[in-house]
Structure 1
Amino acid sequence: MSTLSKRQFLKSIVGATTLSVGDWPDLNEALAQVRHVSSAELATKEDFWATIRTAYPVTNDFIQLENGYYSLAAQPVMDSYLQHIRDINSVSSYYMRTRQFSDKRESQTKLAALLGCSPDELIITRNTTESLDTVIGGLPWKAGDEAVMAEQDYGAMLDMFRLQARRHGIVNRVISLPNHPKSDAEIVNLYEKAITSKTRLLMVCHMVNITGQILPVRQIVEMAHKHNVEVLVDGAHAFGQLAFTLPDLGGCDYYASSLHKWLGTPLGAGLLYVRKDKIEPLWPLFADSSVPDDDIRKLNHTGTHPVATDLAIQDAIKFHEGIGIERKEARLRYLQRYWTDRVRNNPNILLNTSETPTRSCAIANVGVKGKAPAELAKLLFDRYKIFTVAIDGANVHGVRVTPHLYTTTAELDQFVKALKELAG
């Protein structure tokens, strides 16, 4: 191994990440030039965002407007990730037995700081589905217990609640969210009317994945807690896209997100927050007798898994913080409004996303009269090389459109042109 001490050797491999936006001189210079520019003004500066685009390996084969499922990791993040894989592979089990858990703890600590919670209340998972399932499947349900959710929630989560109904005899009360609510109170009241004396848990999306609607989570949490109902928040699309911390949400009991969507981590990482006093009652999905019942690590027994992804979380956070969440949110909302404002009044184009700016950010959903969502998605790709995803259910009929920081207004101009042509 050479004459390096154990401490020096460990330090020389993957323990510490050094990536920063400044490692890319063009980005460093661009950021320095806009240091005093407001986020709202910067959102409109195409030259600045063109520089940001150069940090992403964007394809030229089609226009990518389906970034909500899995968005590109920036090239500096990907380069670091690949180096982590090489470094770990070079020492294999030595790393796994000496550094794996302390490095994961560092990634966990940085995520907790972003989310605004204690590292002892957060674990790294594979994705939002795993995180939410850990709670839904881990609660000590009794026959007759009730759960409240919306038909617009992610399908896998609705499936998990159905499974608990089969297994434990719980009752699922499902509401339907309006695409164009008149007020926050309208949304809160819908959830409240579904609560009974038997309601144990309320699941709510921070941002509805099929329409991009941002829900009034704080008001819903405060309402539910008045009824002694716990709240599980699906934050798959909010973390890394919206500027917030957990205290802004009124003290939700559980929060889950994926890191490969808006934080820009390579595939295979998510997070789960469990409020400290809610940890002990949860049953882990995989047993680990070495961890006390009130320690969140009991929920994180993963076995052997690709640890380079855990390390890349730190790289993604550095890149994310280099740009800044306020700048990201402002630009993403600007891009969505850039195209939706141009088609909203077309009688043959149907927008399934609210026109109120604060009710959405990057994601929107659009349909064309006379065309099924699957047909519309196919026409957009086959004729115009624009990639979207069809949504056809839960009162939402259209394609989901999700630009990212590397999306240009010129690409959105092409999308608007395509929509208008298809709408006749």
Structure 2
Amino acid sequence: MTQPRRDFVKQAAAVGAAVAGLGAPLQAAPTPASAEPVMLGPPLAGPLEQAAQDETYWSKVAAQYAVTDAVINLEAGYFGIMAAPVLAAHHRHVDRVNRESSYFARRAYAPIVRQAREAVAQFVGAKPTEIVLSRGATEALQALITQYRGVGAGDVVMYADLDYNAMQWAMNALAASRGATVVTLAIPEPASREHILAAYTKALDAHPRTKLLLLTHCNNKTGLIIPVKEITALAKARGADVVVDAAHSFGQVPLTMDTLGADFVGLNLHKWIGAPVGAGAMYIREGRLDAIDRMHADEAAPLSRIESRLHTGTTNFATVMTIPDAIAFQQSIGIPQKAARLRYLRDRWVHAVRDVPGVHILTPEDPALVGAITGFRLHGRGTREANETIARTLHEEFGIFTFQRTGLANGDCVRVTPTLFNSPAQLDKLAAALRTIAARG
């Protein structure tokens, strides 16, 4: 056993014992040799742009992911695979739950949930009493929207074309159940901070009875990051509450609840935080619980606690147990450093094709408005068929996996989402492929 491996097992065992709260330290499960768990050490120091290009360091990070070599995967936006230390921890937690069964669940699990919630709260600058764990951002946001009490007959709920479809449907359902009206707006292309703020100001001023506004911090279609705090201030000044979908921004870019400024937020932990699939969180700012109804008349928790607003039933014990491990791995890299690396990978391909005739990049260069995700169209073709064809061509002809996205006011696009296991050379291959496809007309 190598020294890094010994160090990891020793530290992981200590973390496992602390999180578990009882029992002997658990043994690490075997992991693929290509992704042997190691401790990365402190985040890179120095200017972020320089740190983002330290290939020696980032190759060590990439080595913590056991990734298929059957394809170049540039579709990390679906969910984030677990890094080797997180996967090893998850295996330990699964083994413990399976071994100890109800003896564990009834005696040891409650403090573990509290510790996981505290880890999330600390990570986002919230109080633990403002956070409840969910099975994903969708579950959290659906509860926040459909249980929102401030919408009545004749009122308005509002969302944009770039908001996630499941959240749009929840807003539609809320309006239908309350006799309210749905108003939609289109985020302008090309986007800029000024254009975005102007679009929301115009829409809110045109609909003074707006009571609930849905905002997606970083959307899953083009990757545009909108100035949520400023838009939230516009809405609050006009008497509207805001629900923020931070599923894609949490862990992709630095954020805290204060930087968002909203009272209601849905978070995802299995995308950019790299927890096991089925992990998320709901945030309700202290003092705003009364705005959200109790879920399903749930009497298991008092109305004064956020747990009464989201009842998921029996949870995946091992998934929740792994949340602190996933957060610890992200913190070992550093979110500012990670964000800089993701932006570098994004820029690597975008800057190589932005001026290629026929290639239309849908996110701007403003560093405040984009992270890793970027959508594109070729030759202005926004049909579903055209973009599915592009994604299929990239896959079948060039071995590059991307995904087509729909719902944009100006037509469909193809989404590219690099992550920490991708290399600059892989993004160069994407750029070369796009130049070839675009030249075909």
Counterpart of 2:324 in structure 1 is: 314
Secondary structure of the 1:92 match is: helix
Deviation at 1:239, TM superposition (A): 0.5
Structure 1 stretches lacking a partner, 5+ long: 1-6, 18-23
Deviation digits for residues 10-45 of structure 1 (CA, Å, limit 9, x no counterpart): 61168999xxxxxx99954x646x743332211012
Deviation digits for residues 313-364 of structure 1 (CA, Å, limit 9, x no counterpart): 0100110000111110000011101110000001121111113232101000
Counterpart of 1:52 in structure 2 is: 61
C-alpha change, 1:42 and 1:89, in structure 2 (3 Å) is same
Secondary structure of the 1:181 match is: coil
- Hey, what's the Cα distance between the residues in 1 that align with 2:27 and 2:169? 40
Please tell me whether the aligned partners of residues 280 and 295 of structure 1 are also in contact (alpha carbons under 8 angstroms): no
Counterpart of 2:4 in structure 1 is: none
Counterpart of 1:372 in structure 2 is: 386
Counterpart of 2:3 in structure 1 is: none
Larger mean CA deviation between 295-304 and 190-199 belongs to: 190-199
Larger mean CA deviation between 137-146 and 86-95 belongs to: 137-146
Amino acid at match of 2:115: E
- Hey, what's the Cα distance between the residues in 2 that align with 1:194 and 1:348? 32
- Hey, what's the Cα distance between the residues in 2 that align with 1:300 and 1:393? 28
Asked whether 1:397 is paired with 2:415, we answer no
Asked whether 1:257 is paired with 2:267, we answer yes
Q: 2:108 aligns with which of 85, 99, 112?
A: 99
- Hey, what's the Cα distance between the residues in 2 that align with 1:148 and 1:130? 19
Counterpart of 2:428 in structure 1 is: 413
Please tell me whether the aligned partners of residues 204 and 233 of structure 1 are also in contact (alpha carbons under 8 angstroms): yes
Amino acid at match of 1:300: L
Structure 2 stretches lacking a partner, 5+ long: 1-17, 29-34
Counterpart of 1:294 in structure 2 is: 304
Counterpart of 1:382 in structure 2 is: 396
Counterpart of 2:6 in structure 1 is: none
TM-score (norm 1): 0.91
For residues 15-414 of structure 1, the aligned pairs below 5 Å read 28=39, 31=41, 35-140=44-149, 141-182=151-192, 184-195=193-204, 196-249=207-260, 251-369=261-379, 372-394=386-408, 395-414=410-429
Secondary structure of the 1:174 match is: strand
- Hey, what's the Cα distance between the residues in 2 that align with 1:66 and 1:16? 33
- Hey, what's the Cα distance between the residues in 1 that align with 2:332 and 2:115? 19
Secondary structure of the 1:59 match is: coil
Secondary structure of the 2:394 match is: helix
Amino acid at match of 2:287: D
Please tell me whether the aligned partners of residues 205 and 234 of structure 1 are also in contact (alpha carbons under 8 angstroms): yes
Amino acid at match of 1:49: W
C-alpha change, 1:289 and 1:338, in structure 2 (3 Å) is same
- Hey, what's the Cα distance between the residues in 2 that align with 1:423 and 1:339? 14
C-alpha change, 1:416 and 1:36, in structure 2 (3 Å) is same
Secondary structure of the 1:237 match is: coil
Amino acid at match of 1:54: A
Please tell me whether the aligned partners of residues 27 and 52 of structure 1 are also in contact (alpha carbons under 8 angstroms): no
Amino acid at match of 2:63: T
Deviation at 1:234, TM superposition (A): 0.7
Deviation digits for residues 125-177 of structure 1 (CA, Å, limit 9, x no counterpart): 01111111011110123222211110110011111111223222111110100
Please tell me whether the aligned partners of residues 42 and 327 of structure 1 are also in contact (alpha carbons under 8 angstroms): yes
- Hey, what's the Cα distance between the residues in 2 that align with 1:150 and 1:117? 27
Amino acid at match of 2:163: D
C-alpha change, 1:208 and 1:306, in structure 2 (3 Å) is same
Deviation at 1:294, TM superposition (A): 2.3
Amino acid at match of 1:423: A
C-alpha change, 1:417 and 1:169, in structure 2 (3 Å) is same
- Hey, what's the Cα distance between the residues in 2 that align with 1:323 and 1:383? 34
Sequence identity (%): 33
C-alpha change, 1:359 and 1:35, in structure 2 (3 Å) is closer
Please tell me whether the aligned partners of residues 135 and 312 of structure 2 are also in contact (alpha carbons under 8 angstroms): no
Please tell me whether the aligned partners of residues 121 and 128 of structure 2 are also in contact (alpha carbons under 8 angstroms): yes
Deviation digits for residues 357-408 of structure 1 (CA, Å, limit 9, x no counterpart): 3210100012222681000000011111111111243124321000001110
C-alpha change, 1:70 and 1:35, in structure 2 (3 Å) is closer
Amino acid at match of 1:62: V
- Hey, what's the Cα distance between the residues in 2 that align with 1:129 and 1:35? 33
Secondary structure of the 2:330 match is: helix
